Structure 1
Amino acid sequence: MPDPQKKRALELLFDSIRHVIINHQHIPLEERHRRVFRIYTFDELKHLSLGSYT
C-alpha cells in the first residue's frame, strides 16, 4: 500500500468480510483465516525482515 490511510482502508474492507462461499456453503471467516493475509505499506515492506517467515 502506498500509505497508512490506504492500508487502514483495505484492512477495514477486509475485516468487513464475514464469510466466503465454498461449494454453495457459507463458511465464516475466523481470526486464523485473517492471519494468513497481511497488509503492509511500502515503507513497512522495505524494513521487513523475511527471516521470520522461513
Structure 2
Amino acid sequence: MVGFTVAYAFTGSIAIASGIALVEPLVNAVVFFFHERAWRSEFTVLDVLLHRHVRD
C-alpha cells in the first residue's frame, strides 16, 4: 500500500502506481538476497559488477 501511494503521488497514474506496487516486492526479495550475502562478506559489489566468481 505504501509503494502504491508513493508511486501514485509521484506519477498521478493509477496504472503506473499499480504496476510499481506489484513489481516492488519482487525487486525487494532479490535485493534482500544479495544484500544478505554481501553483509556476510561472501562477495563485494565490485565482484558482482566485474562478474568475478568467488573462490574458496
Scaled by the length of structure 2, the TM-score of the pair is 0.33
Greater relative contact order structure (CA < 8 Å, 6+ sep): 1
Q: More helix per residue: 1 or 2?
A: 2
CA radius of gyration, larger in: 2
